[in-house]
Amino acid sequence: MSSPDVIVIGGGLHGCSAALHLSLRGVKVLVLEKDHIGRHASGVNAGGVRQLGRHVAEVPLTVASMALWHGIRDLVDDDCGFESHGQVKVAETEAELAICQARADQLRALGFTHEEVVDQAELRRLVPAIAEHCVGALVSRRDGAAIPYRTTFAFKRKAESLGARFVEGVTVTKIARDGKNWAVETSDGARHAAPILVNCAGAWADRIAAQLGEPVPLEAIAPMLMITARVPPFIKPVVGATGRTLSFKQFPNGTVLIGGGLLGRAYRDENRTDLDFAQIRTNARTVWDLFPVMRSATIVRAWAGIEARMPDDIPVIGPSGTEEGVYHAFGFSAHGFQLGPIVGRITADLITQGQTDLPIEPFRIQRFRRDAVAA
């Protein structure tokens, strides 16, 4: 095959999205994936497509990504199971409702109107099954949820149909400069070369960055999820809580997904996670409190995906601080799924135009220089 213009390391949603957006612009892309597409966080996350409650730095990106989500079929020829019934962050006390109001005011001051505070009556209308003590909520009505593996796989297939090449089951073992190219060696003994490298290696991205001389303080985490047997449809929006950790949603097939970021243990060298039932118990208690109808529901499975978290809980996006022709997109800190469509576009912008119209300054990798030295 002719040599690629860009090598993307990592076949998660961000790698596949970068491959897709680059392919749409006629760039030849090779994606190297150590396991299979969507094997880790991209394939097994909660599937929340959420603008609600994001870090202020992420808000312009999340709003732009939402526009792509609402036209996701046009982008990848598959609806990705995306449904938009809003996301709701419940306030259990007046004090929590005040926090919601402050947040809505803060965003409004910045010019964003997608988050609004609703009273108890409107909360009840949106989420009839919510426990009676809840007093209101912060709501983002265009938010929703999609099916993670199907989404990641759809991005991959569309990219592939446009000429991107995916090699699965190969680990990048060495990266080195070779004239104008990057030479990338993989565990199957192959050597690949391209002038541009994109690091979308998720929970393993720090190892790639370290090889490029810019170590980052990345933590591999394992957010846990559990799912119930099918129950009759009783809730449309995705529900979170203001004062505790929760993500709660019902799929169209009736199963209910419960998560929110309580952590198991990640063993990234073994591709393995262990669940922590003390944490799962806490999660179950929260659901017990907020959704009395769920008390007799049956949990059929629990799991955790391996994911990268940065110390400031926002991702690394943008060019390398040390090397020409290298771009990063990793460290999404357990909330990267919704950003997938836009960050791939941003990376393609940076590679093909040298710039992007979205503010990515807060995500530059250089912000960790001092930390890394201190570490």
Give the span between the Cα atoms of 119 and 101, in whole angstroms: 11
Is residue 23 within 8 Å of residue 159, measured between CB atoms? yes
Residue nearer to other proteins on the CB measure, 15 or 38: 38
Is residue 302 within 8 Å of residue 225, measured between CB atoms? yes
Q: Judged by CB under 8 A, which of 98, 131, 183, 231 binds other proteins?
A: 231
Place of tokens 């791939």: 344
For the CB of residue 85, give the shortest distance to other proteins in the complex, in Å.
19
Give the span between the Cα atoms of 366 and 198, in whole angstroms: 16
**What is the arrangement of strands in the sheet containing 6-9, beginning at the earlier edge strand?**
165-168, 29-33, 6-9, 196-199, 326-330, 316-319
Q: Judged by CB under 8 A, which of 295, 324, 353, 355 binds other proteins?
A: 295
User: Cβ atoms within 10 A of the Cβ of 53, count?
Assistant: 18
Lay out the site mask for other proteins across 314-353 (x = CB under 8 A, - = otherwise). ----------------------------------------
- Subset of residues 241 to 270 that bind other proteins, contact rule: CB under 8 A: 253-254, 265
DSSP 257: E
Selected range binding other proteins among 178-186, 225-233, 352-360, 364-372, rule: CB under 8 A: 225-233
Asked if 285 is part of the footprint of other proteins (rule: CB under 8 A), the reply reads yes
Is residue 182 within 8 Å of residue 208, measured between CB atoms? no
Asked if 32 is part of the footprint of other proteins (rule: CB under 8 A), the reply reads no
Asked if 73 is part of the footprint of other proteins (rule: CB under 8 A), the reply reads no
For the CB of residue 186, give the shortest distance to other proteins in the complex, in Å.
18
Q: Judged by CB under 8 A, which of 1, 298, 354, 374 binds other proteins?
A: 298
Is residue 200 within 8 Å of residue 207, measured between CB atoms? no
Asked if 2 is part of the footprint of other proteins (rule: CB under 8 A), the reply reads no
Asked if 310 is part of the footprint of other proteins (rule: CB under 8 A), the reply reads no
Is residue 43 within 8 Å of residue 305, measured between CB atoms? yes
> How many residues sit in the footprint of other proteins (CB under 8 A)?
48
**What is the arrangement of strands in the sheet containing 191-194, beginning at the earlier edge strand?**
172-178, 181-186, 191-194
Q: Judged by CB under 8 A, which of 14, 103, 157, 158 binds other proteins?
A: 157
Q: Judged by CB under 8 A, which of 95, 229, 324, 357 binds other proteins?
A: 229
Give the span between the Cα atoms of 335 and 96, in whole angstroms: 22
Q: Judged by CB under 8 A, which of 296, 354, 370, 374 binds other proteins?
A: 296
User: Cβ atoms within 10 A of the Cβ of 183, count?
Assistant: 15
- Subset of residues 183 to 222 that bind other proteins, contact rule: CB under 8 A: none
Give the span between the Cα atoms of 217 and 240, in whole angstroms: 28
Footprint on this chain of other proteins (rule: CB under 8 A): 36, 38-39, 43-44, 148-150, 153, 156-157, 160, 168, 226-232, 234, 253-254, 265, 272, 274-278, 280-281, 284-285, 287-288, 292-303
